[in-house]
Structure 1
Amino acid sequence: MNKKVILVLFLVLISFNFLQAEQYSFSSDFLKSVMAEGRENTLLEGNVLVRSEKKEIKADRVEILGKDFQFFICEGDVEVRDLEKNFTLTSEIFHYDNDNRIIRITGPSMMEDRENNMIIKCSYLENRENEDIIILQGGVRILKEDLACRSEFAVYYRDRNMLELTGLPVVYRQDDVFRASRITVDLNTDEIRMEGVVEGSLLSKNNEDEDSEENTSEILEDTSREDGDE
C-alpha cells in the first residue's frame, strides 16, 4: 500500500482586482502531479481529504486541473462541508471552479443546511458562492420543520433566506397544501406567495390529525423511494 501523501499548496487567486490568498492541504493514499505549463494536473486517490479555512472535501478520487489549481473534480462518496456557511453536500460527482467560486453537483445529491435546519434533495445542484445562490433541478425535495416542498426546479437565495419553486411546485405547511405555477417561500417567516394557476387546501379541525398523517406519509414515502433509487 502506498504511504499516505500529504501536500500543502498555496493558491493565489486574482479576482475583482484584488489579491486573495487561500491555503489548501491535501492528503491521500496516492498522488500523481504534473506541473508543466499548460498541463497542470494533480491526481489524488484513496481516502482523499482536501481542506482549507472555508471547506473540507472528502472523496475517493480528486483531480485538480489548471493554472493555480482552478478546477476540482471529485468522485465517489463525495462529502463537502462548508465551514463558513455551515452546510454539508453529499453526492457521487462534484465539480468546483475555484476562480469563479461555483460548485456543480450531478446525480442524486443531498444538502444539509444546519444554519436553517433544512434538508434538500435533488438531481443537480449549482452553488454560486459569490452570489450566495443555489440552483436546484430534478426531483427537488425540501424539508424544514413544519414545511415540505416539492418541485422540478428551485432557486435558494441564501442571503435573503428565500425559496423560489417552479415546475409543478407543491408546498405543505403543517396541515395546509399549496399548488401554483410559481411559489415563493420566505424561510424566516414561512410566508408563502403564489403566482399563476393557484390551488390550496386549508384543513378543518375535525380532519386535522388524519389528513396531517396522510400528508406526512406522502412526503416520507416519496423521500424513501428516492433513497431506494439511489
Structure 2
Amino acid sequence: MLRLVRLLQLASPALPVGAYTYSQGLEWAVESGAVTDEATAARWIGDALSYTLARLEAPLTAALLAAWRTGDDARVSELNADFNASRETMELRAETVQMGWSLLRLLSELDAFAGLPGWRDRLVAVNEPAFPTVWTAAAAAWGIAAEQALTAYLWMWLENQVMAAVKAIPLGQSAGQRLLATLGKRIPGLAAEAASLPEPQWSNFSPGLAITSSLHETQYTRLFRS
C-alpha cells in the first residue's frame, strides 16, 4: 500500500512543481472563443488527451520508466532530448523544464530513494531534465508498477487541464467533476495503448495546439504561463 501512497503523492495537485500555473494553450482557446463552456472544454481537453498526450508523452513516459529501471542512462538522455525537442513553442518547453527542475529540487529533500541507486547524480547528468524524466525517476525509485504509473500520469495531466478550464472559462466545480468523470473513462484504454505503442508510431502532430500555444505567448492578459 505504500507504493499506492507514493503514487498518489506523485499525482497530487499539491505537488509543488507549479503545474497549476500552466494551461498548455487552453487559456488562449478560451480567449479566442473556441472554448466557451463545458461541452467545448470536453472536446478540447479530450482531443489533446487522445491525440497528443496519449500518442507521444505517454508512451515516452513508459519508455523512460523502463530505462530508469534497467539502468540505461543513455536511453534516458535520448528520450529526454526527444521530449524537449517535441515542445513546439518556447513556453511549452519552458514549462516542462521548469517543472522538471522543481520536482528534482523537491525529491532532493525527500529521503525515499533507496530503490534507485545514484538517482540524483543520474538525473543531474541529464541535460535540462524534463518533467516526465524526473517524474519517472521517482516512480522507478518507489517501485510503482508501469501500468499504474502511466494511468496516474495521464490522470494528473487531465486534472490540471480541467482545473485550468474551471478557472479560465470559468466553470463551476460540479462541471469540472463531470469533465473528470467523462474524460477519465478514456484513461485506462489510452494508458494500455500507450504502453505498447511502437516508437516509430509516436506522434504529437497537432498544428492547432501549437498555433494556440504560440498565440498565447503574446496574449495581452493571462492567468497562466502557457
Q: Confirm or deny a common fold (TM above 0.5).
A: no
* TM-score of the aligned structures, taking structure 2 as reference length: 0.23
Q: Tell me: higher relative CO, structure 1 or 2? Use CA pairs within 8 A at least 6 residues apart.
A: 2
Q: Which has the higher helix share?
A: 2
TM-score (norm 1): 0.22
Q: Which has the larger radius of gyration?
A: 1
The structure whose residues are more often strand, as a share, is 1
